[in-house]
Amino acid sequence: MDLNGVYVMWLREVKRFFRSKSRIVGSLGQPLLFLVALGYGLGPVFQKAGQGDYLAFIAPGIIGMSIIFTSIFNGMQVIWDRQFGFLKETLVAPVSRLSIMFGRTLGGATVAALQGTIVLALTIVVGFRPASLTGILPALVLMLLIALLFSALGMVVASLLRDMQGFQLIMNFLVMPLFFLSGALFPLDHVPEGLLLVARFDPLSYGVDALRIFLLGQGIFGIVPDVAVLVGAIAAFLVLGSYFFSKIEI
């Protein structure tokens, strides 16, 4: 694998993000809406149920939401470039497809992790207070793992499709269930066994749980299983993404 090629692709994705100021501002609207509308709207109900501060509970979930939406939709850039011929110019360059795939995946993950960091700062402005400041640094590392996982997943899906409409349909059937079944908005320790079983097959569940451990000092699965599942899923999707990206026909 050409590390210089990986770096070039990574830098290209990061620069593309920072050139779009409207994209940065627009991507903060949904997390802010969830934080204010749900955090303060359902907060009294959550507190009366004896569950504590709802804003603090959903803050890690909203951070995870912003990361998964940003990273997985990075795959749309592949389809966009494919439709307008930019991908062809990239693939004929003297860089291996593996380097291109890894570079774009890392670039999308970096952008998504930065987005998650901005949302973390936004949650603090809104009223969220982490249980410990020492947990913020490992939480940032964990954000990068979550972003890398779903950026790789986005590359897998994008490598199999040729049009934007198909990608959007699949993402709607994939992203929203991943988010809502992850326990981002409700505690998984009080749900029916069937729903908990489904959540265990959702990789975002482990990302949100690990964020809660670092930021709130509480979790369900444990930090070791959380990180193990994330790393294993990253490895699996990177292998799949590399294979399918190498089979793209231009």
Phi, psi of 2, deg, nearest 5: -85, 110
pLDDT of residue 49: 59
Between CA 97 and CA 106 the distance in angstroms is 14
**217 φψ region: left (φ > 0), alpha (ψ -120 to 50), beta (else):** left
More confident residue, 24 or 170: 170
The overall average pLDDT reported for the chain is 82
pLDDT of residue 94: 64
Q: Rounded mean pLDDT of 203-229?
A: 93
Between CA 241 and CA 176 the distance in angstroms is 21
pLDDT of residue 162: 73
pLDDT at 158 over 60: yes
**Pair of tokens at residue 21:** 């100021």
CA distances from 202 to 9, 68, 78, 151, 205 (A): 29, 12, 25, 15, 6
Instruction: Tell me which DSSP letter residue 183 carries.
Output: T
Between CA 9 and CA 103 the distance in angstroms is 5
pLDDT of residue 91: 65
Of 28-37, 125-134, 174-183, least confident by mean pLDDT is 28-37
pLDDT of residue 47: 67
Between CA 199 and CA 179 the distance in angstroms is 10
User: Using an 8 Å Cβ cutoff, are 127 and 55 in contact?
Assistant: yes
Residues 6+ apart with CB under 8 A from 1: 96, 98, 99, 102
Q: Rounded mean pLDDT of 142-166?
A: 85
pLDDT of residue 88: 65
Between CA 120 and CA 166 the distance in angstroms is 32
pLDDT of residue 211: 94
pLDDT of residue 140: 94
pLDDT digits (tens, 9 = 90+) for 90-141: 666 666 777 778 888 888 899 889 889 999 998 988 888 888 888 899 999 9
Q: Rounded mean pLDDT of 177-191?
A: 87
Helices 223-246, 203-216: inter-axial angle, 10-degree rounding:
140
Nearest CA among 163, 12, 17 for reference residue 93: 12
Amino acid (one-letter) located at 225: P
Q: Rounded mean pLDDT of 170-198?
A: 85
Greatest Cα pair distance, the chain, in angstroms, is 62
pLDDT at 146 over 90: yes
Nearest CA among 230, 222, 223, 224 for reference residue 202: 230
Of 1-15, 43-57, 226-240, least confident by mean pLDDT is 1-15
pLDDT digits (tens, 9 = 90+) for 44-72: 776 665 567 788 888 999 999 999 988 88
More confident residue, 154 or 93: 154
